[in-house]
A and B are shown apart, each in its own frame.
Chain A
Amino acid sequence: MAATPLLELRGIDKSFGPVQVLHDVELSVFPGEVTALVGDNGAGKSTLVKCVSGIYPIDAGTVTFDGKQVSIHSPREAADLGIEVVYQDLALCDNLDIVQNMFLGREKTRGIVLDEPTMEQMAGETLASLSVRTVKSLRQLVASLSGGQRQTVAIAKAVLWNSRVVILDEPTAALGVAQTAQVLELVRRLADNGLGVVLISHNMNDVFAVSDRIAALYLGRMAAQVKASDVTHAQIVELITGGRSGNLGLPPEKPTDFVDITPGADQ
Chain B
Amino acid sequence: MTTTLETAGGVKVVKPTVASHIRDYWGRVRGGDLGSLPAALGLVILVAIFGSARPDTFFSPGNFANLFNQAAGVTMIAMGLIFVLLLGEIDLSAGFASGVCGAVMAILLTEKGYPEVVALVAALVTGVVIGLLLGVLVAKVNIPSFVVTLASFLAFQGVLLNILGEGKNISIPDGFIKSLNKDSLPVTWSWILAIGSVAIFALVQFLRFRGRASRGLVTEPIGIILLRIAGIAALLLTTTAVLTQERAINTAIASLKGVPIAAPVIGGFLVLWTFVLGRTTYGRHVYAVGGNAEAARRAGIPVDRIRISVFVIGSFMAAVGGVMLVSRAGSVDPNTGGSSTLLYSVGAAVIGGTSLFGGKGKIIHAVIGGAVIAVIDNGMFLLEYSSGTRYMFTGIILLIAAGVDALARRRAAASGNR
Contact = CB atoms under 8 A, between A and B. Distances in A.
A and B held together in a complex: yes
Contact of B281 (A89, A107, A132): A107
Interface string B6-37: 01111111101000000000000001000000
B292 A93 contact: yes
Contacts of A137: 13-14, 16, 218
Contact of B9 (A104, A124, A136): A124
Nearest to B415: A144
Given A104-B295, A113-B279, A129 B288 contact: no
A127 B294 CA distance: 24
B418 A94 contact: yes
B271 interface: no
B417 A138 contact: no
Contacts of B7: 120, 124, 138
Contacts of A112: 280-281
Contacts of B301: 104-105
A172 to B, nearest CB: 19
B165 interface: no
B288 A104 contact: yes
A132 B360 contact: no
A10 to B, nearest CB: 27
Contacts of A94: 291-292, 359, 418
B296 A104 contact: yes
Interface size class of B (residues with CB under 8 A): 35 or more
Contacts of B215: 117, 121
A95 B11 contact: no
Interface string A114-136: 10010011111111110011111
B113 interface: no
B54 interface: no
B298 interface: yes
A133 B10 contact: yes
Interface residues of A, number: 43
Nearest to A93: B291
Interface string B205-234: 000000110010110000000000000000
A84 B217 CA distance: 28
Q: Which of A92, A94, A139 gathers most chain B CB within 10 Å?
A: A94
B290 interface: yes
A92 B292 contact: yes
A123 B9 CA distance: 9
Contacts of B290: 95
A96 B287 contact: yes
A124 B8 contact: yes
A247 to B, nearest CB: 41
Contacts of A120: 7-8, 212, 217
A35 B282 CA distance: 38
Contacts of B31: 144
B299 interface: yes
B388 interface: no
Q: Which of B14, B212, B281, B285 gathers most chain A CB within 10 Å?
A: B281
A58 to B, nearest CB: 20
Contacts of A126: 9
B167 interface: no
A76 interface: yes
Contacts of A113: 279-280
Contacts of A135: 11, 13
B417 A121 contact: no
A141 B295 contact: no
Interface string B265-301: 0000000000000011100110110111011101111
Contact of A114 (B9, B11, B13, B280): B280
Contacts of B285: 105
Contacts of B416: 143-144
A120 B14 CA distance: 16
Given A92-B292, A109-B281, A117-B217, A134 B12 contact: yes
A95 to B, nearest CB: 4
Given A105-B301, A137-B14, A143-B416, A121 B8 contact: yes
B360 A95 contact: yes
Nearest to A154: B295
Interface in B342-368: 359-360
Interface string A78-93: 0100000001011111
Contacts of B10: 124, 128, 133
A100 interface: yes
A125 B6 CA distance: 11
B214 to A, nearest CB: 8
B284 A91 contact: no
Interface in B371-418: 412, 416-418
B217 A136 contact: no
Contacts of A75: 298, 300
A106 interface: yes
Nearest to B418: A143
Contacts of B292: 91-95
B298 A124 contact: no
B8 A143 contact: no
A143 B412 CA distance: 9
A128 B288 contact: no
Interface in A28-86: 75-76, 79
Nearest to A104: B299
Nearest to B358: A95
Q: Which of A89, A117, A126 gathers most chain B CB within 10 Å?
A: A117
10 contacts: A91-B299, A96-B287, A100-B284, A104-B284, A109-B281, A112-B280, A128-B9, A133-B10, A134-B11, A144-B417
Interface of B: 7-14, 16, 31, 211-212, 215, 217-218, 279-281, 284-285, 287-288, 290-292, 294-296, 298-301, 359-360, 412, 416-418
Interface of A: 75-76, 79, 87, 89-96, 100, 104-107, 109, 112-114, 117, 120-129, 132-139, 141, 143-144
